[in-house]
Amino acid sequence: MIGADKETARSSNRFLIKLTAIATLGGLLFGYDSGVISGALLYLKDDLQLDTLQEGIVVSSLLFGAIFGALLGGKLSDVIGRRGSLMVCAGLLLFGALGSAVAPNYEFMVTARILLGLGVGAASVTVPIFLAEMAPAHRRGRIVTINELMIVTGQFLAFVTNSLLDQLIQDPQVWRWMLGVATIPAVALFAGMMLLPDSPRWYALKGRYADTRRVLELSRPSRQAAEEYDLVVEHIRREKKIDRGAALRDLKTFPWMRRLLWVGVGLAVASQVTGVNTINYFAPTILRSTGLGTSAALVLTIAVGVISIAGTLIGIYLLGRFNHRPLLLTGFYGIIGSLVTLAAAFQLPESNGRSYAVLVAMMMFMFFMQTFVGIGTWLMLSELFPIAIRGFAMGLAVLMLWTANTIISFIFPIMNAGIGSTGTFAIFVGLNIISTIFLVKFLPETKGKTLEEFEEDYAAKHGGFLGAPLRSSVTTSH
């Protein structure tokens, strides 16, 4: 019996590794497609003869597409399942990458980048939901945060690819190769998802309880799978008994759900007003503005990518051992300090020392961002929302995330040209102080509970003040 239990544990572990490796290709593409433009922009803006406004539109067009992709991903994941949604994402990412690589002019490039953004936005919603619903509670934090590791790995690979291709292909159209590389993981994501089942929670929502049990038994030891099956099915049946399931109706009826929705939206927006994507998308441009050459700026940007990966690995370790809320707040405190340092560095006299001071400040920023905020944001967004509105709420939160990202990425070159780097990053300092105050006041702790336990505990805690429709249905064990 002990031998059988060990074999079951090994089998479930192999399944979770395969699941995570395949699903997080969506995160890898998210990172690569958002990061590659930072280097490609140095060439394509001359090749396609872009002015400053068009430069901002080319960068932000992917983000504009991601806004609608977030809505698409949330809706698709509820209707055709998490698996089906990710296969649609893979197709969008493939054709978007191909289109941007062969773009003959500015208009075609913007169109292809919007298509790419639809895939990126949909994947950014669906991958965390899929992983959170598939993972056992005690491993959920680590498995979901692997997606953030893949995002920053994708960004790092974009920086390395940009630098290598810049050295190997001495051609002004090298940017086409930079953008075209993303087709490879898109094909791998589509093929890989064909080998995986959907999440047990989605099967339960659709009344497919046999599939719920089957998938839980693939990813957990037998006894744990049986216990979680009972919890999931009881929770879903109770949801249906009290006639939940239409997200807008539920949000109107249950104020505690609205509270969680706005906390999630606030967290999503806060993660973007950090200013992280001004560095992800414009790091080489920022470094070149300090007096460095194009090749040197591309090479030094790799250091930012290395710090992002190292920070994410540290973050995965920390989130597995400490509560999520205090770690995320620590990140915001560090970001505020890093932005103050970055704003001050631009006041130094122009020299190599100034360039390296700016680089160090950006590396400090990315360390706090990826160790605490980036990884914590996606994990907590995957955990916060009730099952009845999870797809809709995640879609709305990520829509607002991409909206904030789009606005910031579009106006950054304009602001930077108008008020200078010091003034621009000083504004980000103020925005991050506001974000931190909001999160200190409203963000709950999610660690150490199943998704169902967190939902019921939160509803019970806030039922008296926010309305009590769910309180009577909370089981005595909670």
Q: What is the pLDDT of residues 364-393, one digit of tens each?
A: 999 999 899 988 998 898 889 887 787 788
Task: Output the pLDDT for position 469.
Answer: 41
Tokens encoding 455: 């939902």
In Å, the largest CA–CA distance within the chain is 72
More confident residue, 4 or 414: 414
Indicate whether 247 belongs to any domain: yes
Indicate whether 351 belongs to any domain: yes
CA 194: distance to chain centroid?
A: 23
Indicate whether 281 belongs to any domain: yes
| Sequence-separated (6 or more) residues with CB below 8 Å from residue 201 | 133, 212, 232, 236, 387, 451
User: From CA 438, how far away is CA 268, in angstroms rounded?
Assistant: 12
Out of 30-44, 193-207, 210-224, pick the least confident.
Answer: 30-44
- Of 140, 114, 149, which Cα lies nearest the Cα of 16? 140
Q: Is the pLDDT of residue 89 over 90?
A: yes
Task: Output the pLDDT for position 478.
Answer: 32
Q: How many domains is the chain partitioned into structurally?
A: 1
Could you say which DSSP state residue 443 is in?
P
Task: Output the pLDDT for position 474.
Answer: 34
Angle, CA 63 vertex, CA 134 and CA 31 arms, to 5° = 50
CB 301 within 8 A of CB 284: yes
CB 225 within 8 A of CB 213: yes
Report, as an integer, the average pLDDT of 79-99: 93
Out of 76-90, 189-203, 248-262, 423-437, pick the least confident.
Answer: 248-262
Confidence grade of residue 263 (pLDDT, cut at 50, 70, 90): very high
User: From CA 279, how far away is CA 444, in angstroms rounded?
Assistant: 29
Tokens encoding 432: 């991050």
User: From CA 102, how far away is CA 41, in angstroms rounded?
Assistant: 15
Phi, psi of 293 (to 5 degrees): -80, 170
- State the residue range of the domain holding 105: 2-196+242-464
Task: Output the pLDDT for position 5.
Answer: 61
Report, as an integer, the average pLDDT of 169-190: 89
Dihedral, CA of residue 422, residue 338, residue 401 and residue 146, to nearest 10: 150
Task: Output the pLDDT for position 285.
Answer: 75
Q: Is the pLDDT of residue 463 over 70?
A: no
In the chain, % of residues over pLDDT 70: 92
Q: What CATH code is carried by the domain that includes residue 175? A: 1.20.1250.20
Tokens encoding 379: 């994990």
Confidence grade of residue 477 (pLDDT, cut at 50, 70, 90): very low
User: From CA 127, how far away is CA 23, in angstroms rounded?
Assistant: 6
Confidence grade of residue 277 (pLDDT, cut at 50, 70, 90): confident
Indicate whether 207 belongs to any domain: no
Indicate whether 215 belongs to any domain: no
Confidence grade of residue 45 (pLDDT, cut at 50, 70, 90): confident
Indicate whether 214 belongs to any domain: no
Burial class (CB in 10 A: 0-12, 13-18, 19+), 107: exposed
Indicate whether 102 belongs to any domain: yes
More confident residue, 83 or 382: 83
CB 13 within 8 A of CB 255: no
User: From CA 152, how far away is CA 28, in angstroms rounded?
Assistant: 8
pLDDT digits (tens, 9 = 90+) for 112-133: 999 999 998 898 888 988 998 8
Dihedral, CA of residue 26, residue 32, residue 37 and residue 40, to nearest 10: -130
Tokens encoding 7: 């074999």
Q: Which of 190-204, 248-262, 375-389, 452-466 has the highest mean pLDDT?
A: 190-204
Out of 16-20, 84-88, 346-350, 460-464, pick the least confident.
Answer: 460-464
Phi-psi region of 245 (alpha: psi -120 to 50; beta: other; left: phi over 0): left
**Residue at token pair 């905020």:** 373
User: From CA 350, how far away is CA 173, in angstroms rounded?
Assistant: 31
Exposure letters 204-224 (e unless 16+ CB within 10 A, then b): bbeeebebbbebbbbbbbeeb
Could you say which DSSP state residue 326 is in?
H
The DSSP secondary structure of 257-324, one letter per residue, reads HHHHHHHHHHHHHHHHTT-HHHHHHHHHHHHHHTT--HHHHHHHHHHHHHHHHHHHHHHHHHHTTS-H
Report, as an integer, the average pLDDT of 425-432: 95
CB 225 within 8 A of CB 9: no
Report, as an integer, the average pLDDT of 336-350: 92
Task: Output the pLDDT for position 414.
Answer: 82
Indicate whether 472 belongs to any domain: no
- What is the identity of the amino acid at 327? L
Task: Output the pLDDT for position 433.
Answer: 97
Task: Output the pLDDT for position 118.
Answer: 93
